[in-house]
Amino acid sequence: MSIGDVLQDYRKQQGMTQEEFADQVLVDRSSIAKVETGKRPATNHLMRQAASAFDDPRLYIAAAEEVTGGASVPYLDGADLHKAATHYKSLEEGEEALAAMRFAPIMKRNDQMTEADKAAVKAAIMESIEAITAFTHHIMALCREYGFSWRGVWKEHRADLKAKQYMK
């Protein structure tokens, strides 16, 4: 699903016209129309403004997917995103990732790895990505259900990482 599709779907879910949406994200209506129809790519400014103005996790996820060309967590529009479903899916995927990580022979140097060892490492990577996707959607479900700001929880997390000096 393109960023234009996500913006249009979100706008319609909120009962907003293109004009109303454009006013909120500080761009002209024609730009919204062109992005929604795929005639123009979304600018970084538009994606940042839309995500920030509405603080909706789906908009942040769509913007990340657009900017990275898909090297990010996808929005699972075909999954059950109820908080209980995402809770149990996160537990399942987390356990699978931990099991795969325990099995991966990461203490070996690359030149010591057999094809089976590399397959085990790749399995750990893929299971970890599945867990990240499940956890991201669980956080999204909890933020929506309990009124937490998606941007706010990530800002708090970054502040914690900075305080621990994991980042500058």
pLDDT in tens, 100-139: 999 999 999 999 999 999 999 999 999 999 999 999 999 9
Interval 85-96 mean pLDDT: 98
Residue 108 lies in a domain: yes
Residue 47 lies in a domain: yes
User: In the prediction, which pLDDT does 131 show?
Assistant: 98
Domain count, the chain: 2
| Claim to verify: residue 19 and residue 63 sit in the same structural domain | yes
> pLDDT of 20-52, one tens digit each?
999 999 999 999 999 999 999 999 999 999 998
Last residue within a domain, chosen from 18, 45, 68: 68
Residue 120 lies in a domain: yes
CATH number for 26: 1.10.260.40
Residues 6 or more apart whose Cβ sits within 8 Å of residue 67: 44, 47
User: In the prediction, which pLDDT does 2 show?
Assistant: 85
Domain extent, residue 106, equals 83-163
The single residue listed with the structure tokens 């299971």 is 127
Residue 74 lies in a domain: no
User: In the prediction, which pLDDT does 79 show?
Assistant: 96
Residue 93 lies in a domain: yes
